[in-house]
């Protein structure tokens, strides 16, 4: 069977107008992962595994690496599936770029009550979404 190729510069919807395909490429998540108690859940995209380092500290390991460490990431955490989100943060372990690599990102989930009151916590469900160019 021969494989084909579709080339398009714009996508058009019958009632919603058109969009340049570059917006679709650039605006699409390149990695999405959810873990529950350190176990990668089904439905993840571009995630090979989760490494659990300590309470609230873990790395998301990517199947396909990013082109550089300047990719954007956002996350969320909940107590249990279906509950409201907890007060939390999702950040580089030490606040620097040192824990962001092209093939993984080490992050921390924690309760943040004030700049002096932070408690690392293993939430029941933690999500991570990354945007950027793949290598």
Average pLDDT over residues 42-63: 88
pLDDT value for 48: 92
Give pLDDT tens digits for 107-118: 878 777 666 777
Q: What's this model's pTM, rounded to 2 decimal places?
A: 0.74
User: Taking the mean position of all CA atoms in its chain, how far away is CA 8?
Assistant: 28
Cα dihedral 13/15/17/21 (nearest 10):
-20
Q: How many whole angstroms separate alpha carbon 22 and alpha carbon 28?
A: 10
Going by DSSP bridges, is the β-strand pair 47-54/57-62 parallel, antiparallel, or unpaired?
Answer: antiparallel
């Amino acid at each position: 069977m021969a494989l084909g190729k579709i080339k398009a510069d714009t996508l058009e919807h019958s009632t919603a107008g058109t969009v340049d395909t570059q917006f679709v490429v650039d605006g699409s998540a390149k990695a999405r992962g959810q873990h529950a108690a350190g176990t990668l859940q089904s439905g993840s995209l571009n995630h090979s595994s989760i490494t659990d380092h300590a309470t609230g500290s873990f790395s998301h390991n990517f199947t396909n690496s990013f082109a550089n460490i300047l990719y954007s990431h956002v996350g969320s955490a909940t107590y249990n599936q279906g509950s409201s989100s907890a007060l939390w943060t999702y950040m580089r372990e030490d606040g620097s770029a040192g824990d962001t690599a092209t093939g993984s990102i080490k992050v921390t989930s924690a309760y943040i009550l004030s700049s002096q009151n932070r408690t690392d916590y293993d939430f029941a469900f933690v999500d991570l979404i990354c945007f950027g160019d793949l290598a």
